[in-house]
Structure 1
């Protein structure tokens, strides 16, 4: 078999496998979507059978955002929440006083106290 014929067979195989992966992912997403009723699922499947490439393209364009959200839910990824990040205190004086108490009790060093004081005064955490 000539080299270029082999290359075209490999390229065709690559595109075919990529297309099959996309179609199976669409089917997986379609049947895992609990908000879509059975009739709409049947319509999507029929169109995937008879007009596969165009239907796959339309599905990804029309329902792409939902696909990503459902995939994140299946993996257990939740939207990022900033509530765990430390916030600048409303009263830097109380932060400094609390740090001073810790310094006096020996729980923190002078360097740690200075860092806490600097953060309280500048508001950068």
Structure 2
């Protein structure tokens, strides 16, 4: 039998989760201070000192004074990251070749297939020209 009642276990878990949430809020506010491009160096230093010296008061004052812009700054940062990701994917997926997206190669392959079908070139010549065209 345990000397630790069930209600005390629930209260301990509650305090533990509140403590974790407090640290998450603290780190989120400090990250917002350093990511804000509109704050100068002295303002960032002042807010950081205020939040570190008097954490509860500093966090609450920061949320009251600058909390309305935290979501907006986070959304703008997420949009910039999304734009950079899309640009990266677009650049990585771009296939080197003709600027019109490879339509010249498709047309050339069709022309070669037509020549082969009409008997103007042999199967070996067709395969050689096709491999040379696709290697580019």
- Could you say which TM-score interval applies, normalised by the shorter chain? 0.5 to 0.7
Q: When the two structures are superposed, what TM-score results if normalisation uses the length of structure 1?
A: 0.57
Query: Between Structure 1 and Structure 2, which shows a larger proportion of helix residues?
Result: 2
Q: When the two structures are superposed, what TM-score results if normalisation uses the length of structure 2?
A: 0.53
Aligned to 2:56: 53
Aligned to 1:12: 15
Runs (5+) with no aligned partner, structure 1 = 78-125
- Structure of larger gyration radius: 2
Aligned to 1:30: 33
What is the CA–CA distance in structure 1 between the aligned matches of 2:5 and 2:44, rounded to whole Å? 45
Moved over 6 A (4+): none
What is the count of residue pairs matched by the alignment? Answer: 77
Aligned to 1:73: 76
Shift of 1:63: 0.5
C-alpha distance after superposition, 1:47-101 (max 9, x if no partner):
1112111111111111112211101101118xxxxxxxxxxxxxxxxxxxxxxxx
Aligned to 2:24: 21
